Chains A and B, each alone.
Chain A
Amino acid sequence: MSKIQALGLDVGSTTVKMVGLDAEGEMAWHFLEQAEPLLENQIARFLERARNVTGPLDGIPLVATGYGRGLVNQATRTVTEITCHARGIYRELGHGGTLVDIGGQDSKVIGISPQGKVIDFTMNDKCAAGTGRFLENTASRLKVSLDRMGPEALSVSDEVSISSTCTVFAESEVISLIAHGVSIASILRGLHRSLVKRMVSMILTVGLTPPLMLSGGVAQNPAIRQMLEEETGQKIILPHYPQLMGACGAALFALDA
């Protein structure tokens, strides 16, 4: 493993991610865990793990991002997740465009210039609809594991319409659909469509400049990818590690230091 020269820590609502970069800015190490309630303890554990890999962290700059960035007292500086995601994805893909990041607590659409700068952005952060939490909730209600949701949704062509855009009401709607004998797969397909339609309205707020890129944990869901392509008419470009783009961007800022 190359020597780690900079660290990025993305303290998200669902997962915490850490990335170590070598002197060339290539990812040399990464680590990811589900977020825990006592974030300070978890952050200390992440740093300990990094120390085990790199040796003493003295002199290795650390930039924190994500909604819990303010809790990382050890960070050299903090940068918002919007700026970090843009930086991370630009480094990996080498072009601008429109980045959709569907996270656990919020979703973002970021317009990135051909030079890799953020030129516009919007966030859905007022309700859970349009976020990973929407899928998590319904997965739990339908007793389908998160990683099976996408394939299940794509396994059928019948799609029910989920009229509610609120996660709580959508859950009630799902219960009603089950009671009416609608198949789980058709319900899942409808739920994915509902989430994607919300994302598309956010994309239109910023303006869709191709290519369309996807990051965040939800990017691993094939139904989201396919439906986003269907709704926008654009091919989706995925980075190698969609969940790590924020931490990567943070580490790149650390490397600048």
Chain B
Amino acid sequence: MTIPAIPRRIDVIRTFKEQGGYVAAVLPIHYPRSLLRAFNILPVEVWGPPGIKARDGAKHLQPYVCSIVHNALSFLQSGGLDITDILIVPHTCDSLQGLGSILLDFVSPKQPVIPIYLPRGKRESDVDFFANELRSIYRQLEAITGHSPTDADLLQSIYREEAADKLLSELHRCRRNLPFSNLAFYRLLRNREHLPAETFMELAQKALAQKVDTTQDGGIPILLSGIVPEPMSLLGAISQMGGVVAADDLACCGRRLYPPGQSDDPFRRIAERILYAPPDPTRGNSIKERLEHLLQLVETSGAKGVIFYEVKFCEPELFDLPQLRQGLQEAGLPSLTIEMDLNDPLSHQALTRLEAFLEMIQ
């Protein structure tokens, strides 16, 4: 059994542009995919990218800014994002907010920059605020592309993304019944970061067709939390040490299992989807909500411990950790924190911690 063939990111981008579409480079974490697609814009997420020479960004950023932001700015300045037509910068954290300002005020890239202001909550007023923010983004995209999708166009795009996210949730739910390694599984999931929803759905359906009735014996089940599993060799290392990622609370994966919206108004519906997604510190969810969510994931997945795999200097993540770890400990769940930099290989020390943790929980 093998993972379905995955198209290369650059090929996807070129094909989309050849067919008359636009491409937006999107910084983490939450953004309105369906709104972009309604304008024939393909969102391609930029989680760094990892393993590049992050020299150019250092001119504008302090050393204690995380490597996702350092790399993104360096990648942009070295021409890595020249193929894209728009830059989308959600105000996920202080560093990304700072990056948005740097791009608008100092760097002035060739592409238009659209910041996204996310509310910190999920009250009715937050949905109102975010829906208005999305209307503002609509107007900006309208000015850039010259297109004016109707409400019906927007809803059609939303329904397509909802269908893709439903399949994504299904993949998460039945991961232990799929014959894929940790690494292969996450390679598949992370295609949602750049594939059009319709292409991702084809891949997901092929993968789900390989589902078996019995749970695959992958080893010691763990819950992986954090931002992004880079370097991806982490996942191979977990397998090699006898572990299996039984569930995740990763910003790039499990925290983006967006539920279907309820409203018939397209802007409110997109806002509902994003704000009602699993808890995330960057959207202002409380530690209590996060802890309850982690414990629920542990219960449903049978995970024996939680690994917080964090990007160094990621404040929203690191601020929550002491209380999250304490809450897990009180619930009898061991946890481990590993910090990494996107440009470093997985260190021997990190591997030792991982191995010791698996020895501890087995």
List chain A positions with a Cβ less than 8 A from chain B: 67, 79-83, 106, 117-123, 125-126, 207
Contact = CB atoms under 8 A, between A and B. Distances in A.
Contacts of B337: 122
Contact of A117 (B329, B348, B349, B360): B360
B206 to A, nearest CB: 38
Interface string B337-348: 100000000011
Given A119-B334, A120-B329, A120-B334, A81 B359 contact: no
B306 to A, nearest CB: 12
Tell me what chain B mostly uses at the interface: helix, strand, loop, or mixed: helix
Given A80-B356, A125-B352, 10 more contacts: A67-B348, A80-B352, A81-B352, A82-B359, A83-B359, A83-B360, A118-B360, A121-B356, A122-B337, A125-B349
Top 8 A-B pairs, shortest CB-CB distance: A125-B349, A82-B356, A80-B356, A118-B360, A83-B359, A80-B355, A80-B352, A83-B356
B87 to A, nearest CB: 33
Interface in B305-362: 329, 334, 337, 347-349, 352-353, 355-356, 359-360
Interface centre among B348, B352, B359 (most CB of A within 10 A): B352
Interface residues of B, number: 12
Contacts of B348: 67
Contacts of A126: 349
A84 to B, nearest CB: 9
Interface in B199-216: none
Nearest to A123: B353
A83 B334 CA distance: 15
A123 B349 CA distance: 9
B300 to A, nearest CB: 24
Contacts of A120: 329, 334
Contacts of B356: 80-83, 118, 121
A220 B91 CA distance: 52
Contacts of B352: 67, 80-82, 123, 125
8 contacts: A80-B356, A80-B359, A81-B352, A83-B359, A119-B360, A122-B337, A125-B349, A125-B352
Nearest to B329: A120
Contacts of A207: 329
A122 B349 CA distance: 11
B101 to A, nearest CB: 30
A106 B349 contact: yes
Contacts of A81: 352, 356
Contacts of B334: 119-120
Interface of B: 329, 334, 337, 347-349, 352-353, 355-356, 359-360
A37 B147 CA distance: 66
Q: Which of A79, A81, A117, A121 has the most CB of B within 10 A?
A: A121
Contacts of A118: 356, 359-360
Contacts of A82: 352-353, 356, 359-360
A119 B361 CA distance: 8
Contacts of A123: 349, 352-353
A123 B336 CA distance: 11
Nearest to A106: B349
Contacts of A119: 334, 360
A14 to B, nearest CB: 15
B45 to A, nearest CB: 29
Contacts of B347: 125
Nearest to A81: B352
A83 B348 CA distance: 16
A118 B359 CA distance: 9
Nearest to A83: B359
Q: Which of B347, B353, B356 is most buried by chain A, counting CB atoms within 10 A of its CB?
A: B356
A80 B329 CA distance: 22
A79 B359 contact: yes
Contacts of B355: 80
A107 to B, nearest CB: 12
A69 B42 CA distance: 48
Contacts of B360: 82-83, 117-119, 121
A70 B37 CA distance: 50
A118 B334 CA distance: 10
